[in-house]
C-alpha cells in the first residue's frame, strides 16, 4: 500500500501515520522527521535546513527530492510506504509523480486530514509545551498555516484531479481515522 497523508501542520499526520504503519506493515516516511534527524546529526543538509525550519518556511525542493529518492530506494519501502509531509507544494507533487512513475510504484491513495485552524493552533501549543519544537511556537505556527494555505492546499486539487484524493475527519477520536482506514482500505 502506497499512501500520501495530506493535512495542515498539527493535523495529526504523524500520529495517524504511526498507527497506519502498525496496521499496514509499511514504513512511515516523514520528511519532517528526516530533516529533524539531519539537523540533530549536524549534517551539511541539516545545517542548511535548520534555520529554514525554525522560521516555519519550506526547505528547498531539491533537498527534499534527493532525500526522498534515497529513502524510497531502501528495501523496506519496496512493499509500500506512508508518506507524511511530502508533497508540500505543486512542484513537489509533480516531482513525486515522476519519481513514482520512474520506479514503477504509483500511489494507491492520498488521504487528507481535515482539522479546523482553531484546533490546530491549540494542538501545536500543547506540542510546543510537550516537545519544545521551536517551530511550534504560536507565531511560527501561524506562519506555517499561511504557507500551508498558499502553497500546500493547491496540492489537494492536484490529487483530486487524478482521482486519488480522499478526505478524512482528523478532528475526531484518534482511533476513528485509523480504523476507518483499516475497514475500508483505499482502492487504486
Kindly give the interhelix angle for 117-131 and 138-147, rounded to the nearest 10 degrees.
130
**Residues 40/119, Cβ–Cβ less than 8 Å:** no
Cβ neighbors of 48 (< 8 A, separation 6 or more) are 59, 60, 63
Of 17-25, 49-57, 109-117, 160-168, which part binds ligand ADP (CB under 6 A)? 49-57
In the bound complex, what is the minimum distance in angstroms from residue 136's beta carbon to ligand ADP?
8
- Reported as half-sphere exposure (CB side, CA atoms, 13 A), residue 92 has a value of 28
Contact call for residue 92 and ligand ADP (CB under 6 A): yes
User: Of 10, 12, 27, 170, which one interacts with ligand ADP (CB under 6 A)?
Assistant: 10
User: Of 4, 5, 9, 95, which one interacts with ligand ADP (CB under 6 A)?
Assistant: 9
Nearer residue to ligand ADP within complex by CB, 138 or 185:
138
Contact call for residue 52 and ligand ADP (CB under 6 A): yes
> Cα–Cα distance between 63 and 26 in angstroms, integer?
24
Residue 157 Cα to chain centre, angstroms = 16
User: Which DSSP letter does residue 60 get?
Assistant: P
Residue number of the CB atom closest to ligand ADP: 32
Nearer residue to ligand ADP within complex by CB, 131 or 187:
131
Positions that interact with ligand ADP (CB under 6 A): 9-10, 13, 31-32, 35, 52-53, 56-59, 64, 85-86, 88, 92, 135, 144
Amino acid at each position: 500500500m502506497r499512501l500520501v497523508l495530506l493535512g495542515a501542520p498539527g493535523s495529526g499526520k504523524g500520529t495517524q501515520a504511526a498507527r497506519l504503519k502498525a496496521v499496514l506493515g509499511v514504513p512511515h516516511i516523514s520528511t519532517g522527521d528526516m530533516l529533524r534527524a539531519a539537523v540533530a546529526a549536524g549534517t551539511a543538509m541539516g545545517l542548511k535546513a535548520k534555520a529554514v525550519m525554525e522560521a516555519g518556511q519550506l526547505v528547498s525542493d531539491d533537498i527534499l527530492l534527493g532525500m526522498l529518492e534515497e529513502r524510497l530506494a531502501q528495501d523496506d519501502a519496496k512493499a509500500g510506504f506512508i508518506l507524511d509531509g511530502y508533497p508540500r507544494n505543486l512542484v513537489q507533487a509533480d516531482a513525486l509523480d515522476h519519481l513514482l512513475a520512474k520506479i514503477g510504484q504509483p500511489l494507491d491513495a492520498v488521504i487528507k486530514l481535515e482539522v479546523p485552524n482553531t484546533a490546530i493552533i491549540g494542538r501545536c501549543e500543547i506540542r510546543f509545551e510537550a516537545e519544545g519544537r521551536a517551530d511550534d511556537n504560536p507565531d511560527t505556527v501561524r506562519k506555517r498555516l499561511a504557507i500551508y494555505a498558499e502553497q500546500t492546499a493547491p496540492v489537494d486539487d492536484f490529487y483530486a484531479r487524478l482521482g486519488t484524493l480522499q478526505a478524512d475527519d482528523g478532528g475526531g477520536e484518534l482511533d476513528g481515522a485509523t480504523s476507518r482506514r483499516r475497514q475500508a482500505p483505499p482502492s487504486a
